[in-house]
């Protein structure tokens, strides 16, 4: 891991003259705050697997010595990674790599809440795997996952129910190579969130997602799985989820019944 040379200020530092980068050939712009350069190097350690989910990272003092910068600069980099849910600070214990198995993280991407506003009032969602099959990527899926048309993907369909009522129908597509060995039985037998399974058994951690939301009417198959009618409007949520380095790892299309639930998103 490259070290950052000392500079006269923690606010800005020049990138490496030969590569135009610090620790990464794609790092831009040429000048950036020093803590941002440290953040890039720390992201590399996360992406490479040097620091694994749930493991403690080195202390601020150790990282400051490693990168040859002040402890305050390291702290600012950690603050940003914690704000992005990539690291978790634990009072008196240190800083750890976030994992989707943690309760406060595992439902970060599930935004549907009961009308009473209490996400714990219904208990965890009941999951039913309808299908998990390997097929060739359509043009739409290939484009979303940065694959070549006809590359292998896995398509999963499942229903999420709350208090026994089918509420969400999801179809998701995953690149075939990173998820080799994923089966319907493996999904059904895992007791935690799906993203925690991806993280612990396939080494893929979803760190951010982009969504498009619109209202739609269901087709016959969707009506059957959600126990609804063709005249019932559904909320369609189309998501692309990314791992480190903005690599797309999942395309997901969810249909949400909102007669007793609402979709909530906090904007910062």
Residue 109's pLDDT band (cuts 50, 70, 90) = low
Q: What is the pLDDT of residue 32?
A: 79
Q: Mean per-residue pLDDT for 208-234?
A: 95
Residue 93 reports pLDDT greater than 90: no
Q: Mean pLDDT in the chain?
A: 84
Residue 100's pLDDT band (cuts 50, 70, 90) = low
Decide: residue 195, CB within 10 A, 0-12 exposed, 13-18 middle, 19+ buried: buried
User: Do the bridges between strand 165-175 and strand 152-162 make them parallel or antiparallel, or are there none, so unpaired?
Assistant: antiparallel
Q: What is the pLDDT of residue 13?
A: 43
Q: What is the pLDDT of residue 28?
A: 46
Q: What is the pLDDT of residue 104?
A: 46
Residue 12 reports pLDDT greater than 60: no
Q: Look at the pTM and tell me if it is higher than 0.85.
A: no
* Among the listed residues 71, 82, 2, 84, the one whose alpha carbon sits nearest the alpha carbon of residue 35: 71
256 contacts: CB under 8 Å, gap ≥ 6: 112, 167, 168, 234, 235, 236, 237, 263
């Amino acid at each position: 891991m490259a070290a950052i040379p000392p500079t006269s200020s923690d606010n800005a530092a020049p990138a490496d003259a030969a590569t135009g980068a610090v620790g990464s050939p794609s790092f831009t712009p040429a000048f950036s705050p020093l803590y941002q350069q440290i953040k890039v190097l720390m992201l590399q350690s996360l992406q490479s697997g040097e620091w694994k989910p749930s493991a403690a990272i080195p202390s601020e003092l150790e990282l400051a010595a490693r990168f040859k910068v002040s402890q305050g600069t390291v702290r600012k980099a950690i603050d940003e990674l914690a704000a992005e849910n990539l690291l978790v600070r634990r009072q008196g214990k240190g800083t750890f790599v976030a994992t989707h198995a943690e309760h406060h993280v595992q439902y970060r991407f599930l935004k549907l809440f009961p009308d009473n506003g209490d996400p714990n009032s219904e208990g965890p969602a009941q999951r039913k795997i309808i299908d998990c099959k390997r097929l060739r990527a359509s043009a739409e899926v290939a484009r979303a996952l940065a694959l070549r048309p006809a590359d292998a993907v896995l398509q999963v369909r499942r229903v999420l129910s709350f208090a026994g009522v089918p509420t969400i129908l999801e179809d998701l597509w995953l690149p075939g190579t990173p998820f080799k060995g994923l089966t319907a039985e493996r999904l059904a037998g895992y007791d935690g969130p799906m993203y925690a399974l991806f993280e612990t058994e396939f080494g893929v951690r979803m760190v951010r997602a982009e969504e498009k939301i619109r209202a739609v009417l269901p087709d016959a198959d969707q009506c059957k799985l959600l126990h609804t009618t063709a005249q019932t409007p559904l909320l369609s949520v189309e998501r692309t989820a990314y791992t480190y380095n903005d690599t797309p790892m999942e395309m997901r299309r969810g249909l949400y019944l909102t007669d007793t639930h609402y979709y909530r998103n906090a904007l910062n």
